[in-house]
Chain A
């Protein structure tokens, strides 16, 4: 027990200690200042810009910036769609896997350009090395860089006065990829590969079984498949870019994706590192570090609370597992104990639960344990973090701009209470910003609830369920929450590879990615055009405990009002059935 608490505390501590300097570094990348990697990377950056005829000093209006982001994603989508459809006739396919169905291809393409990485496919048995490398890995970089670039544009919106420019999307994209994503990915990829994550282009290996397995029909299986591929390079970026799409079907629970406690430490910290750093980048960017710290603290408080609930629930396991004492579920020096269904022995409760809470806080969605097999409240916490709109740190860049949407909502509500015009970071918040902020905040709940409602009403959906009753409903709710938060994790027993589910989940992912993205840029554009208002006695400070409390309250209020009825039918009902 003591060890587990120590693990939880250290995971959080390491994360924050690394994120603070990274946040400052990312600010330097945003402004194009010199960094310690510049001697190496500046020539590459210049060469790339010249080759692509990108002018780094170009100033785009918000509409141009949005157009660039959308067009870039559109080509990524198209390219990935074609790769999926035609992988069967393309090279680097040693297993001879056929092309994917149109609806699975659509789903996977939507999933990866939206930084969701929902896995309707199962990597090792569906996708060729070429698709994984040239398609998925590239979109892992592209979608993450897009999110961070949009956050940069938003920061510029707050700092610029009577201006129309938000910077160049192309230059931001190149810088983020070159200076942030690629260097971090190389470090993480090499560390995890040294521990046993595979990285090769050889075809799958086979080995003999020490004890042959006799099947029910009497046939003996004497050999085992050893799936391989260029996994480490993809896993590094899927963690760092809050993407989460695994090289293998079971994601980072697979021993070849995450072989031991060291690889787990690197992957788990990576998955929340950039989203946390974004808070500090924001503080530097708006030239008031306290503002970044306030958003960070609001997110951290929510994260710690959710982690506490999930940790207690998983350690307590369930009566169905404990069998009135016949099964030993208490933690000791010789076993992790707790709810080990769907969890790996090398990770136990602490490293699994921390990952589960981190990955649903960040809109990462990679898993090192199976969320479908969590206890009712453990699973509910994960669902709720996605339903809150992925603002507990959230996706790289997009988590931060989502939270700024909530901050704008908060100053507006506070302004109503005292009867003053709301302002945030020296800019007046007027009807146009409010409309856009509401779009940012409500896109997620609307998409999740409509999607879940439709899917639950459709009789055919029942065939996709892996569990009956309340947990079955939770599987549907989780799927749409995951898509609606651009998260990508799953109650994985749910078979989402059907035409209706692939298409509807794909549409939800596209909607919740691009509506808030465009709305955020609209806010940025409108703010950039305004003058700064001087701080007065009537200004609501947005860096103190009161504001942090209000912000948390607003986030929970929107989430609770939207989702309490749905959660009551799923995890809450399951909890009461469990103890009955």
Chain B
């Protein structure tokens, strides 16, 4: 009985000490260092030009216009977050659909048809897989270079520029693999679209 009481008290003391060390000192120290050393990254990688916040370089926005590069399929969520005035804010999540079901097959078939119709120049080519699928976060800001190249003629046509001009902008916002090995090459969709609109230079 004596042991039980002693251990209970000690457990409480250790629990409190650990909470202060790991729950207060540690996160505050890391926050302090991050805010000093890399404030932009630690605050959401916001693209801010002349005081206007155009988005986060790391969060996808949905693009459906012909003049814009399209990104991954987004499962939109406009119910979870609201502005101060109550208007809905955009957020998104994953589909969590099994890619092996008949229902999924029908859904992809619909997307294929829609994308085919918008890209007559590419009628004979398979559609790059990331254009017809949803991402893990629903907020994937990137597509593959193949998926960007697939859309070049459509964007050029809608904007009345040459395909190579669009390609040049895309190339500007394309990143290779880390050390040429890890991860995958990516194109940042929002940055390309901001550049196409002449906002990002």
Contacts and interface: CB of A to CB of B under 8 A. Distances in A.
B21 A199 contact: no
A225 B60 CA distance: 11
Given A190-B33, A205-B53, A370-B94, A261 B81 contact: no
B30 A202 contact: no
A170 interface: yes
Contacts of A138: 18-19, 22-23
A341 B56 contact: no
Contacts of A201: 31
Contacts of A7: 181-182
B68 A493 contact: no
A320 B96 contact: no
Contacts of B145: 334-335
Interface in B120-162: 125-130, 132-147, 149
A174 B98 CA distance: 44
A249 B77 CA distance: 13
B35 A335 contact: no
A422 interface: no
B144 A334 contact: yes
Nearest to B29: A186
B169 interface: no
B118 interface: no
Contacts of A204: 81
Interface string A128-147: 00000111011011100000
Contacts of A342: 94-96, 99, 133-136
Interface stretch (A29-37, A69-77, A437-445, A557-565): A69-77
A421 interface: no
Residue from B63, B102, B108, B182 whose CB has the most chain A CB atoms within 10 Å: B182
Interface string A241-263: 00000000110011110011110
A241 to B, nearest CB: 10
B112 interface: yes
Contact of A326 (B88, B97, B126, B197): B126
A345 B186 contact: yes
Given A133-B27, A320-B101, A578-B100, A328 B146 contact: yes
A482 to B, nearest CB: 15
B56 to A, nearest CB: 5
A53 B12 CA distance: 12
B47 to A, nearest CB: 8
Given A262-B178, A345-B140, A225 B186 contact: no
Given A225-B81, A233-B26, A336 B13 contact: no
B103 A373 contact: no
B186 to A, nearest CB: 5
Contact-residue bracket for chain B: 35 or more
Given A223-B87, A329-B129, A323 B30 contact: no
A233 B87 contact: no
A260 B57 CA distance: 12
Contact of A261 (B31, B57, B76, B183): B183
A348 B30 contact: no
Contacts of B108: 320-321, 323, 327
A226 B56 contact: yes
B99 A375 contact: yes
Interface string A294-326: 000000000000000000000001111101011
Given A133-B27, A373-B99, A319 B186 contact: no
Interface stretch (A206-214, A397-405, A513-521, A545-553): A206-214
A323 to B, nearest CB: 6
A205 B46 CA distance: 9
Interface string B1-42: 001100110111111011101111011011101110110011
A196 interface: yes
Nearest to A178: B21
B27 A320 contact: no
A79 interface: yes
A253 B177 contact: no
A480 interface: no
A224 B59 contact: yes
A234 interface: yes
B136 A344 contact: yes
Nearest to A213: B62
Contacts of A260: 175, 178, 183
Interface string A473-495: 00000000000000000011100
A48 B17 contact: yes
A256 B44 contact: yes
A250 B138 contact: yes
Contacts of A222: 87
Contact of A207 (B46, B116, B125): B46
Given A134-B24, A213-B90, A64 B3 contact: yes
B201 interface: no
B101 A141 contact: no
Interface in A151-195: 170, 173-174, 177, 182, 185-186, 189-190, 193-195
A68 B57 CA distance: 47
B112 A224 contact: no
Residue from A125, A236, A341, A370 whose CB has the most chain B CB atoms within 10 Å: A341
A233 B57 CA distance: 21
A119 interface: no
A346 B183 contact: yes
B17 A52 contact: yes
B96 A200 contact: no
Given A7-B182, A52-B10, A72 B137 contact: no
Contact of B22 (A177, A200, A202): A177
Contact of A137 (B23, B54, B146, B178): B23
A79 B15 contact: yes
Contact of A194 (B7, B37, B76): B37
A469 B48 CA distance: 47
A383 B187 CA distance: 33
A68 B11 contact: yes
B173 to A, nearest CB: 13
B194 interface: yes
A197 B40 CA distance: 10
B10 A68 contact: yes
B184 interface: yes
Interface in B80-114: 80-81, 83, 87-91, 93-105, 108-109, 112
25 contacts: A52-B10, A133-B27, A137-B23, A177-B21, A194-B41, A200-B34, A205-B43, A210-B190, A211-B62, A225-B81, A255-B140, A256-B44, A256-B58, A318-B100, A321-B133, A323-B112, A327-B129, A328-B126, A334-B149, A335-B144, A340-B135, A346-B184, A372-B94, A373-B95, A471-B100
| Closest 6 pairs between A and B when the two form their complex, measured CB to CB | A261-B183, A493-B96, A253-B136, A328-B126, A320-B105, A348-B184
Given A71-B10, A200-B43, A367-B136, 9 more contacts: A79-B15, A196-B57, A208-B53, A209-B90, A223-B83, A250-B138, A253-B94, A259-B58, A328-B125
